[in-house]
Amino acid sequence: MQTHYSDLLVIGAGLSGERIAVEAAQAGFGVTVLSIVPARRSHSSAAQGGMQAALGNCAMGKDDCPDVHFLDTVKGSDWGADQEVARMFVDTAPIEMRRLAYWGVPWNRVVPGKSFYFKGGEKFEKVEPEDRAGLITARSFGGTAKWRTCYTSDGTGHAVMCTMDNRCAQLGIDVRDRCEAIALIHDGQTCFGAIVRSLRSGELSAYLARATAVCTGGFGRIYKATTNAVICDGAGHIIALDTGAVPVGNPEAIQFHPTGIVPTDILVTEGCRGDGGTLLDVNQDRFMQIYEPEKAELASRDVVSRRMTEHMRKGLGVKSAYGDHLWLDIRHLGDKHISTKLREVDEICKYFLGIDARTQLIPVRPTQHYTMSGIRTDKDGAAYGLTGLFSAGEAACWDMHGFNRLGGNSLAETVVAGGIIGAKIAEFLGGHEVKFDTTLVRQAGAQAEERIKAIVSGTNGHEDVYKVRGALQEALMDGCFVFRNGPDLEKCIDTLHEVYERSGRVGLRSNGLGANPELAVALKIRGMVKLGLCIAYGALARTESRGSHTREDYPERNDRDWLTRTLAYWPDGAEKPVLKYEPSSPVYELPPGDRGYGGGKIIPADPASLTLIKKEVKG
């Protein structure tokens, strides 16, 4: 087994991982970045709509500022966010957008003069001022008071990812693809790196480092209906949870996006609704304004997904061979707009649905999209439980999103958090030395080899890994989707325990040699079921409705008892997660209140229980 050394090991080459790498490399440290796919194919590239930052450049963003962005973010989180982190994020985002422009991101820019925009299908006039010509412009996104989502048509993630990868190349950062970390090397107190499997040859290597950052994205692929790519299967969360020392934060906080296309669940950006698209029912009537008169289609994602589901439950969904759906209408935006600012949506509709979005309606329904859950870290990105382990991006629960993230905030988080946490890692490396225990490294490698041998030989059994994964996905769709309730969650947990037992008896139909995707799934399936159980147990225990976590049997948001963050641990040898709790925010710049959309009753917290900081917040 080969051994590789560096100052910093970054697991995951998406935007947060490469942004951390850039920051550490600029500080003079040696960095190795590992990715299971070529970096530019990371799931960050799939992000379409844009990045939120309060630049206030365009006419509809006038008077925007970080304070207004902060208000939107905390309200969007349904007061589940760490407000210290949210404040750092909104203050830093404008700086980061300008830095990305300097590095080469081709942001759409303000074009002065008269133009038009759509809201609720109606056409309105706006005038962009001459003195703002050429500045970074923005579009409207859900749950925001101002237009602040910076974009490059509807290919923002791709544009920023290419720019970031170029920056890594300029700095000589060692980015290695087709490599998957299958275990962290640790002694229960300190992380020393990871055991890594080559996806080309199947060989194992040890990557040792003074600091390790997990930036592997989300775990949407444990759901059957998801917008996530096949690589988003929770690999980073699994190796962290397997340590027994590192918790997953808020596992029950799973976001469902309103507009996954039917039947493939590929995302069409919120930019469609931000640019004026509308949602229609089986009668081709708009309906969101009935439920949400103020925000309509541009309420936050948890609210729109919930309202769409409610509307379909009333029998107003469109029947299809793939289940009920609704329509997204962008026809009125016109050929020029669709061909330029929504060109990826245009291509998705053409190649995956065989329709022309200029003249035809797009079939959509809520689908799993994002995990607010993640490896729990402090505000510096340091993971709970192990010194030397960090995390950022969707892999982390940093936690600026709470129980619902706003569209455009997560893509911005990748680079904003990456920059902040990368600087903190560089600071950490400046004063942190370790001694690598070769016995510990050999033991970790031997354990990984034994796991692989047992799966390949069928020692533990011959369960089909794909059938086991399918059972996991179906259980979560039935019990942990947009709406949840006690009986369904209990049934889900019972089913997942059966699936968990089956996951320990997985064998291969193939020989397991070389680049073997079946073995790759088999190595992760037990951990994927663990994540599913963390979601279900966390959702059953949280007897309230907050953001994306909607309990039909507990419809109130309960600030009195549940202004908390869930921490799910999985001790070695345990059959279920251990749940602990901490305050959702150490301080409250914005005391809990009404979101202004979404409805529902609130059981208020005792003001004496909140640590408030005095700050005059605009907006």
CB atoms within 10 A of CB 485: 15
Closest CA to 49 of 139, 178, 180: 139
Please state, as a whole number, how many other Cβ atoms lie within 10 Å of the Cβ of residue 584. Answer: 25
Is residue 315 exposed (0-12), middle (13-18) or buried (19+ Cβ within 10 Å)?
exposed
Measured CA to CA in angstroms, residue 407 lies from 6, 46, 255, 257, 261 at distances of 36, 14, 11, 9, 17
Please say if 257 is a catalytic residue: yes
Amino acid at 18: E
| Catalytically annotated residue among 132, 197, 237, 257 | 257
Tell me which H or E stretch contains 506: strand 506-507
Catalytic residue among 273, 546, 551, 595: 273
Rounded CA-CA distance 598/619 in Å is 20
- Could you give the CA distance from residue 308 to residue 611 in angstroms, rounded to a whole number? 37
Three-state secondary structure call for residue 606? coil
Tokens of 344: 């990826």
403: nearest Cα among 100, 74, 66: 74
Residue 351: CB atoms within 10 Å: 9
Contact at 8 Å (CB) between 267 and 260? yes
Euclidean distance between CA atoms 305 and 267, whole angstroms? 14
* Spatial distance between the Cα atoms of 472 and 135, rounded to a whole number of angstroms: 48
d(C-alpha 70, C-alpha 68), whole Å: 5
CA dist list (Å): 353 to 201, 283, 316: 37, 21, 22
Diameter of the chain measured on Cα atoms: 72
Name 252's Cβ contacts closer than 8 Å, sequence gap at least 6.
373, 480, 535, 538, 539, 542, 549, 566
38 close to 162: Cβ distance less than 8 angstroms: no
- Which residues contact residue 562 at a Cβ distance below 8 angstroms, ignoring those fewer than 6 apart? 542, 543, 544, 546
Cβ atoms within 10 Å, residue 133: 13
Tokens representing 301? 């994602």
d(CA 366, CA 258): 4
- Between the CA of residue 420 and those of 18, 42, 105, 417, 613, what are the distances in Å? 13, 21, 20, 5, 23
Catalogue the active-site residues: 257, 273
